[in-house]
């Protein structure tokens, strides 16, 4: 709680939450929530866990250059990671996921983190694809220029990141040598060797991008994951008196998940809710109803995976102190190695 990142995340969430709730009649919001037909949450949660299984399948493809691990062994690791994201800020669950994989399979944390970063880039690109597909089919009013601005800036960021990753994967020696030159120019001696070690392991983690079949599978599974999540949005919508097209929900899904890349409090408080409510009101949904739906959807996304993550965490023999151990192990990987001659 002493770190500035912690307070930055909570500050961003507070601003977004204030924007989401201002002007709402909270008593009307709670009426909509109370009157929801929550039997629809059963198929919504089922579809969501199918999407998590597909996420695990995708990670299997990305880890194959490092080690072949059965999907059933990876599934609890993925769930623990998403639970960590839901209860700690700044997506520290991704580090926890890599730490559990390190404990189980002896894969370097920096190598598996490279696959997680690539996952996020593909997720971002699919979100943009959803937005591009949905906008011509469900046009927005003229006062929604902010969505176009998000799409333009996000497109540039994700495409540049993907191109850089492909270059590094295709020419790892060049990337390593370039990093070495930059470190020699700008960093003190004590930092160079640790960061070069991280760079080498990170480049190893990008190995899946060298195989066209694996790249196509990563993209295909990413599309499938987010289509399944949009189906969850549709099921939750059935619990309320709402009528929106599937493409409008695709757009909402894309915008909301692009917004959750911002730093925030645990569970993406505010950064999920405010964009979701705003997109729905642009399509004529009453603000109070939009808020009720978005809050229930957020809870339905957060609670089941978090509870299952706690279960797997206990079964794995992990404790809260392992969040700190994950950071310590990651830092230890970055320390210079001393050989038998003391060099």
Query: pLDDT digits over 109-138, tens only?
Result: 888 888 888 888 889 888 888 888 887 877
> How many domains does the chain contain in total?
1
Tokens of 326: 């994950």
| Residues 41-63, mean pLDDT to the nearest whole number | 95
Asked whether residue 198 is assigned to any structural domain, the reply reads yes
pLDDT tier at 31, thresholds 50, 70, 90: very high
Q: Which long-range contacts (CB under 8 A, 24 or more apart) does 8-12 make?
A: 8/263, 9/89, 9/90, 9/263, 9/264, 9/265, 10/89, 10/265, 12/262, 12/263, 12/264, 12/265, 12/270, 12/271
Arithmetic mean of pLDDT over the chain: 86
Which residues are CB-neighbours of 221 under 8 A, at least 6 positions away? 54, 55, 57, 58, 61
Tokens of 314: 């206990």
Domain limits at 82? 34-331
Which residues are CB-neighbours of 104 under 8 A, at least 6 positions away? 73, 77
* 34-38, 196-200, 259-263 — most confident range: 34-38
Give the angle subtended at the CA of 57 by the CAs of 56 and 61, to the nearest 5°.
Answer: 110
Asked whether residue 28 is assigned to any structural domain, the reply reads no
Which pTM value belongs to this model? 0.85
Asked whether residue 49 is assigned to any structural domain, the reply reads yes
Asked whether residue 103 is assigned to any structural domain, the reply reads yes
Which residues are CB-neighbours of 227 under 8 A, at least 6 positions away? none
Asked whether residue 15 is assigned to any structural domain, the reply reads no
């Amino acid at each position: 709680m002493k770190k500035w990142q912690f307070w930055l995340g909570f500050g961003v969430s507070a601003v977004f939450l204030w924007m989401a709730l201002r002007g709402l009649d909270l008593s009307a919001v709670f009426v909509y929530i109370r009157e929801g037909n929550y039997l629809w949450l059963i198929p919504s949660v089922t579809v969501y866990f199918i999407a998590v299984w597909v996420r695990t399948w995708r990670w299997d493809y990305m880890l194959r250059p490092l080690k072949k691990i059965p999907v059933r062994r990876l599934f609890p690791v993925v769930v623990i990671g998403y639970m960590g994201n839901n209860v700690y800020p700044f997506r520290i669950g991704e580090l926890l996921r890599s730490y559990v994989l390190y404990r189980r399979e002896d894969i370097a944390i920096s190598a598996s983190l490279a696959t997680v970063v690539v996952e996020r880039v593909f997720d971002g690109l699919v979100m943009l694809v959803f937005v591009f597909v949905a906008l011509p089919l469900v046009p927005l009013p003229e006062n929604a220029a902010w969505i176009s601005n998000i799409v333009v800036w996000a497109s540039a960021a994700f495409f540049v990141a993907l191109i850089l990753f492909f270059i590094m994967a295709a020419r790892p020696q060049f990337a390593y040598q370039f990093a070495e030159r930059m470190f020699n120019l700008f960093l003190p001696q004590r930092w160079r060797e640790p960061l070069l070690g991280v760079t080498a392991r990170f480049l190893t983690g990008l190995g899946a991008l060298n195989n066209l079949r694996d790249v196509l599978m990563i993209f295909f599974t990413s599309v499938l994951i987010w289509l399944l999540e949009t189906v969850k949005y549709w099921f939750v919508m059935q619990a309320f008196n709402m009528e929106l097209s599937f493409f409008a929900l695709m757009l909402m899904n894309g915008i909301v998940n692009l917004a959750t890349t911002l730093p925030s409090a645990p569970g993406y408080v505010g950064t999920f809710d405010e964009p979701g409510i705003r997109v729905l009101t642009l399509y004529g949904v009453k603000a109070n109803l939009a808020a009720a739906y978005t809050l229930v959807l957020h809870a339905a996304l957060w609670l089941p995976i978090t509870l299952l993550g706690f279960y797997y965490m206990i079964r794995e023999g992990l404790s809260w102190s392992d969040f700190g151990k994950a950071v310590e192990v990651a830092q230890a990987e970055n320390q210079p190695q001393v050989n038998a001659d003391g060099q």
